[in-house]
Amino acid sequence: MANSKKVALVTGSNRGIGFETARQLGQQGVTVIISARTEHEAAEAARKLREEGIEAVSITLDVTKAADHTAAANFIESHYGKLDILVNNAGVGPADGPIGLRASASSQEELQSLFNINVFSLVELTHELLPLLKKSEAGRIVNLASILGSLTLQAMDPSPIAPFRKFAYNASKAVVNVFTIHLAAELKDTNIKVNSVHPGWVKTALGSDAAPMSVPDGAKTTVAVALLGSDSPNGRFIHEINKELPW
């Protein structure tokens, strides 16, 4: 069934920044597809948004499972015929918190775990959904990165983010940024824009209560970038809508 409204899929949107991103998109009149690893988590989050008057549906989507990628694409194709917004929000942080081990102490197991979720799954899901995004009049791909993935800021001496050096996690977010650059260049002559965003240091399970930003504030950059107009940036690393970060 064709749908004239914008349709957005937000991965990992049953809680935290993902849920708030879906809420704020829904408040702008976007139909939001809530996704989570379990059917119950996704359905419960969508129910909460519908109670607020937001058009929300739910799907089960474990981003590490190729079968779930295909099922998500089939669902979107059959119900809406296109996808306007993909927010690659799902991801994990370092197991021992944001302040962790030196690069020389990072294990192969940690690297594989973080890259599997933060990089490989994000890339593969985007590949699966790209044909549906190409059917949109204004496709938008928003990749949740982190300021910790900025090579420029990491390399400064002294670095403003040196206390948060965590090799495996930071490297995974740097690769997300490279994917953004390459995909944006590949699609520059299409109707699709691809950008990375840094939501800020937000009070979430990863950010901890020490973070200065609320979850609603943390979602604002993602929502703004998801709704960018045709004359807006493409292939950029954005924090707060008017501020670009260095790669």
Gap between the Cα atoms of 12 and 40, Å rounded: 13
Question: What is the C-alpha to C-alpha distance for residues 68 and 214, in angstroms, rounded to an integer?
Answer: 31
Task: Tell me if the bond preceding 212 is cis, omega within 30° of 0.
Answer: no
Q: Are 186 and 180 in contact (CB under 8 A)?
A: no
Q: Is 169 a catalytic residue?
A: yes
Beta strands in 22-113 (DSSP E): 31-36, 56-60, 85-88
C-alpha dihedral sign at 238, 177, 59, 128: positive
- Strands of the sheet containing 56-60, edge to edge, are 56-60, 31-36, 7-10, 85-88, 140-144, 193-197, 237-238
> Choosing from 19, 167, 169, 179, which is the catalytic residue?
169
> Would you please indicate which residues are annotated as catalytic (active-site) residues?
169
